């Protein structure tokens, strides 16, 4: 009976030793860096467009109205790499106005414009920056309706975009250039 107890104790010691070794291996610090969970954020919103721009083709002004869809996607991978994509697309119309904002109504379609604008871009970083800023041009086009090619307006707006901890702030207009394409 004594031999049997010793064999049982020896087996128990071996099992406890194996468990202790397994717990030690599992609890020991790893050489690899801890993996971050991926983070994906999607911002999608619409902004009304309402602006008056100079008309270099007629020396008057154009009242532009419409809607801009803004899409921002940020992604942080499990390795810590950070990327973002930005899309801004606008459409609407424009009408000739005087410098005081009064609509020019001549009874024809000539006083109406179709408005469109777009901006797309992306960037990738090895890790998420605490802050970054970029300046980028956004090109707006104002073209007369009904295939009237008597004048067309192209406006390039310089935008400053800032991101803090991956979250975008409202774009700030740095300046713009308007030209007639006739």
37-71: pLDDT as tens digits: 666 778 888 889 888 888 898 888 999 999 989 88
- 161-176 confidence digits (pLDDT tens): 888 877 778 788 888 8
Of the pLDDT bands very low, low, confident and very high (cuts 50, 70, 90), residue 26 is very low
> What secondary structure does DSSP assign to the chain, as a single string?
-HHHHHHHHHHHHHHHHHHHHHHHHHHSPPSSPPPPPPEEEEEEEEEEEEEEEEETTTTEEEEEEEEEEEEEEEEE-TTS-EEEEEEEEEEEEEEEE-TTS-B---SSGGGEEEEEEEEEEEEEESS--SEEEEEEEEEEEEEESTT--S-EEEEEEEEEEEEETTEEPPPEEEEEEEEE--
Whether the Cβ atoms of residue 157 and residue 172 lie closer than 8 Å to each other: no
pTM to 2 decimal places: 0.66
Q: Is 104 exposed, middle or buried (0-12, 13-18, 19+ CB in 10 A)?
A: middle
């Amino acid at each position: 009976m004594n031999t049997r107890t010793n064999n049982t104790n020896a087996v128990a010691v071996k099992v406890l030793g194996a468990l202790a070794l397994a717990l030690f291996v599992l609890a020991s610090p790893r050489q690899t860096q801890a993996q971050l969970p991926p983070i994906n954020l999607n911002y999608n919103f619409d902004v009304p467009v309402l602006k008056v721009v100079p008309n270099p083709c007629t020396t008057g002004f154009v009242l532009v109205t419409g809607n801009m869809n803004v899409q921002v996607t940020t992604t942080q991978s499990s390795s810590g790499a950070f990327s973002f994509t930005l899309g801004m697309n606008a459409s609407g119309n424009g009408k000739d106005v005087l410098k005081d904002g009064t609509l020019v109504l001549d009874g024809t379609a000539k006083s109406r414009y179709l408005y469109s604008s777009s901006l797309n871009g992306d960037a990738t970083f090895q890790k998420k920056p605490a802050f970054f800023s970029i300046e980028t041009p956004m090109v707006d086009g104002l073209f007369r309706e009904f295939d009237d090619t008597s004048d067309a307006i192209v406006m390039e707006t310089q935008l400053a975009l800032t991101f803090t901890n991956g979250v975008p702030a409202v774009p700030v207009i740095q300046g713009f250039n308007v030209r007639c394409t006739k």
